[in-house]
């Protein structure tokens, strides 16, 4: 905790993924701070949803205020544990700090550690990188595409991204909006037409992601068009509907609102596992945004602005974010090449290390056996040598005995 207060009333916290050695930051390197809320205002941190409540009722607030310095450790249910003699479980799954060193209190070697590191650090890292690539690709494509228009206007449109709290600022993690952190202060253009295609009115909807919630956005749209174009919230998603005899189109958007809410977009999803083409574009070619709305609401159906901007993404530097890692700034293709190169390099290194360590182990085993092991050939040779030595000694004794007997017989 980094500020005193009650749940939902001032208490705030920071998050560390490596036991407090480093803290999550935004794209500018500033440490992220999250509000300590109850379940109705839970915040999203990576793949986690975090909120505060009592043990018996997760939706309620703790009976006492939180204070600076209070710490909470989130422990995974599925992990590797060591049970002490007292029967207390202790988490020992391998952990690597941000500087690359291992947590000495966890497993740091052996086959089991290697298998866990493969699954969590390597495969998990590749998955995170692929998700980051996909998320940046989705955002950049939708950011451009959503400002275009098709040969047909919209009678209705529903966003594909939802919020968990309709009253939270869209740029706040408490809103639950996947791309909320990418929003900037700006304006989004809406154009309203009658059935003949004549523009009736237009409106520029301003957005401040640090203060404006989804409810605020809906209110601004409803106020701008006097009921001819209405906005509502359905299951946490924005829904736009034109009154009978009217239709609407989307224009320039400097805030990223269209892309963040998933209205008039080409792609849906937010990771490599769920990215897909928006069904609106696949079901009706007239809704594919190949055109652009220009000055005074003029629809340029043959305009190449959107297509040219999408093509320019090939050489455009964009940002890629993974929790706990430094933000990368590359083109989409360069980032993908880096990812595939890393996988190839790690695979090659693993094969080399497997061969090297196997050879080293065999060499050490041979050296050990050369000192401590029993050679049957050598032992058989020694046995034969000792047998011949025994026979020679026996012959010598027998000869000496015979000589002594002869000498004694001569004396007598």
Tokens of 214: 């989804």
Q: Give the pLDDT score at 76.
A: 75
Number of domains the chain is built from = 2
Q: Are 327 and 185 in contact (CB under 8 A)?
A: no
Give yes or no: residues 150 and 37 share one domain.
Answer: no
Give yes or no: residues 136 and 39 share one domain.
Answer: no
Residue 107 lies in a domain: no
Residue 369 lies in a domain: no
Residue 192 lies in a domain: yes
Give yes or no: residues 213 and 295 share one domain.
Answer: yes
Residues 6+ apart with CB under 8 A from 130: 272, 339
Give yes or no: residues 174 and 307 share one domain.
Answer: yes
Residue 105 lies in a domain: no
Q: Give the pLDDT score at 412.
A: 65
Tokens of 411: 């004396």
Per-residue pLDDT reduced to its tens digit, 27-73? 778 888 888 888 878 888 877 888 887 666 655 566 568 889 999 98
Structural domain including 28 reads 1-85+92-97
Residue 198 lies in a domain: yes
Q: Are 239 and 166 in contact (CB under 8 A)?
A: no
Q: Are 129 and 337 in contact (CB under 8 A)?
A: no
> Angle, to 10 degrees, between the axis of helix 124-145 and the axis of helix 332-372?
180
Give yes or no: residues 224 and 329 share one domain.
Answer: yes
Give yes or no: residues 184 and 52 share one domain.
Answer: no
Residues (pLDDT < 70) of the chain are 54-64, 373, 412
Residue 393 lies in a domain: no
Residue 396 lies in a domain: no
Give yes or no: residues 158 and 291 share one domain.
Answer: yes
């Amino acid at each position: 905790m980094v500020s005193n207060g009650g749940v939902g009333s001032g208490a705030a916290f920071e998050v560390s993924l490596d036991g407090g050695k480093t803290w999550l930051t935004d794209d500018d390197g500033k440490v992220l701070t999250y509000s300590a809320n109850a379940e109705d205002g839970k915040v999203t941190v990576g793949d986690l949803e975090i909120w505060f409540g009592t043990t018996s009722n997760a939706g309620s607030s703790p009976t006492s205020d939180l204070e600076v310095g209070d710490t909470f450790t989130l422990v995974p249910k599925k992990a590797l544990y060591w049970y002490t003699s007292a029967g207390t479980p202790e988490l020992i799954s391998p952990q690597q700090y941000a500087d690359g060193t291992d947590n000495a209190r966890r497993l740091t070697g052996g086959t089991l550690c290697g298998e866990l590191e493969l699954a969590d650090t390597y495969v998990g890292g590749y998955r995170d990188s692929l998700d980051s690539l996909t998320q940046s690709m989705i955002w950049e494509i939708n950011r451009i595409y959503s400002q275009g228009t098709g040969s047909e206007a919209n009678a209705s449109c529903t966003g594909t991204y939802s919020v968990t709290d309709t009253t939270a600022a869209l740029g706040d993690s408490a809103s639950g909006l996947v791309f909320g952190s990418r929003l900037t202060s700006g304006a989004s253009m809406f154009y309203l037409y009658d059935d003949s295609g004549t523009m009736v009115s237009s409106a520029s909807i301003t957005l401040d992601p640090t203060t404006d919630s989804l409810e605020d956005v809906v209110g601004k749209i409803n106020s701008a068009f006097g009921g001819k174009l209405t906005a509502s919230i359905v299951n946490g998603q924005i829904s736009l509907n034109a009154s009978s005899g009217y239709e609407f189109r989307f224009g320039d958007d400097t805030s990223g609102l269209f892309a963040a809410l998933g209205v008039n977009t080409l792609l849906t999803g937010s990771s490599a596992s769920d990215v897909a083409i928006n069904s609106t574009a696949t079901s009706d070619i007239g809704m594919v945004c190949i055109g652009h709305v220009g000055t005074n609401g003029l629809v340029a159906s043959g305009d190449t602005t959107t297509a040219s901007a999408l093509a320019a993404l090939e050489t455009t530097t964009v940002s890629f974010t993974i929790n706990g890692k430094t933000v990368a700034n590359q083109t989409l293709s360069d980032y993908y090449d880096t990812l595939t190169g890393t996988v190839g390099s790690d695979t090659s290194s693993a094969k080399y290390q497997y061969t090297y360590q196997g050879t080293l182990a065999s060499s050490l085993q041979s050296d050990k056996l050369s000192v401590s092991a029993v050679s049957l050939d050598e032992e058989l040779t020694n046995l034969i040598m000792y047998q011949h030595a025994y026979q020679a000694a026996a012959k010598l004794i027998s000869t000496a005995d015979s000589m002594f007997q002869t000498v004694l017989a001569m004396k007598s």
